[in-house]
Amino acid sequence: MDASRLNDLSHAFTQGLPRRRLIGILAAAGFSGRLVGPATRAAAETAGGPAPPPDRPHRTIEDRRAEFAQLTAKTPVDEASRVAFLRAKLRTAQTHSRFDIPARDRALESVLERLGQKAQGLVTQPTPGGVGYGAFYNSTFKTLWGLGTSFSCEYVCPSTPGGNVNTWLYLTATNRAAMGVEAFVAYYAQNTPHFRVFDWARSDQWQTDIPFTSLGNYLASRLAHGRTYQVLPVWNSTWLVSGSTYRNQALLYNRVRASWDLVYQYDYTATNTQQKSGWIGSWGPIVETFQSSYSQTRHMGALNTQLLSANSSGQWGSWARLFASNSYIRNDNVGFRLVFLDPNYAFTVVS
């Protein structure tokens, strides 16, 4: 099955199309059998993509896109959380402490341009909060890649946020590409968290949406600074496949089979300028907030943040941790306090 047909299949599932239409799309794509079948080895490993992060055992990538798309189709759409997510991006741009007023305006304009019609009315609806804590890339480092960029971290994500969380709270990051993806953890109040994918390259940007109850093979434990945390290892990449075609991917680490699973992929046309201009893609792992203050929340954050670049010839380099020399910390003082910081590749916070 080629990439364009897989994109159509993923889109069909996430749009919740009737079963008869889904079957027609599947048949046209050459698929037969159950809607969720055995995973196949992903073509990503032979398509010029990046090597897996080195900190976990890995044999082969398996393609779980159809399975994740079907699970997403069963998840009720939460329009309020989608609006809040977009408003938070505007708020973060408008209040960035390291920018002067003209730079804030330019950052806001770049987000509005990418969102298009979705941005109508959002600017006049302020959202309290912003960034509870997290890392942003220095301006030079944000564009310091050639034909590809890749990001990996382990979100420290308890099964409930605890404390006074009664709206949204996100653990999210970008891989520096302005048209890349955010593969992130979404909390709402004390409900079951979700893993979601938001693709900045698409018009239908909301794609994967999976509750933690369906992620048992992917949630793991990690010891850091004397404490054991529940983590979700995430890996996402953007790179030039050929010509002007870029590929966005999101993968999760399957602890049962000790390898990475491909859960989302999208191919699209873009230019080098589009990928590197504007403010989108400037944040590493952050705790994104939506309330004016937080208290008594559980530990959350990110561990083992790493990035990888492909040069102007498409040759991938080596994975390297995110350091204080290429990033900085933002804290909007909404109640979170630092538990530990390994500058700047690992941190946890509480309130």
pLDDT digits (tens, 9 = 90+) for 100-121: 767 766 776 777 777 766 665 5
Q: Identify whether residues 118 and 8 lie together within a single domain.
A: no
Q: Is the predicted pLDDT of residue 301 greater than 50, yes or no?
A: yes
pLDDT of 66 > 50? The answer is yes
**Which of the four pLDDT bands, split at 50, 70 and 90, describes residue 177?**
very high
Cα 306 from Cα 153, distance rounded (Å): 6
Residues 1 and 97 in one domain: no
Are 117 and 97 found together in one domain?
A: yes
pLDDT (tens digit per residue) in 246-258? 999 999 999 999 9
The residues, any chain, with a CB within 8 Å of residue 273's CB and separated by 6 or more, are none
Question: Do residues 71 and 10 both lie within one domain?
Answer: no
Dihedral sign from CA coordinates of 160, 162, 168, 172 = negative
- Residue 26 — pLDDT band, cuts 50, 70, 90? very low
The mean pLDDT of the chain is: 86
Pair (4, 147) in one structural domain: no
267 or 33: whose pLDDT is higher? 267
Q: Is the peptide bond before 333 cis (omega within 30 degrees of 0)?
A: no
Tokens for 335, please give them: 């109640």
Whether residues 5 and 135 fall in one domain: no
Pair 17, 132 in one domain: no
Q: Is the pTM of this model over 0.85?
A: no
**Range(s) of the domain holding residue 302:** 41-350
Verify that 114 and 20 share a domain, yes or no: no
- Chain segment 117-133, per-residue pLDDT in tens: 666 555 544 455 589 99
How confident is the model over 284-308, as a mean pLDDT?
96
123 and 225, same structural domain?
yes
Overall average pLDDT of the 231-248 stretch: 97
Q: Is the pLDDT of residue 71 over 90?
A: yes
For 212-227, how does the pLDDT look when each residue is reduced to its tens digit (9 = 90+)? 999 999 999 999 999 9
**Statement to judge: residues 300 and 321 lie in one domain:** yes
Q: Is the domain of 232 the same as that of 157?
A: yes
Residues 8 and 148 in one domain: no
Task: Work out how many domains the chain is built from and give that number.
Answer: 2
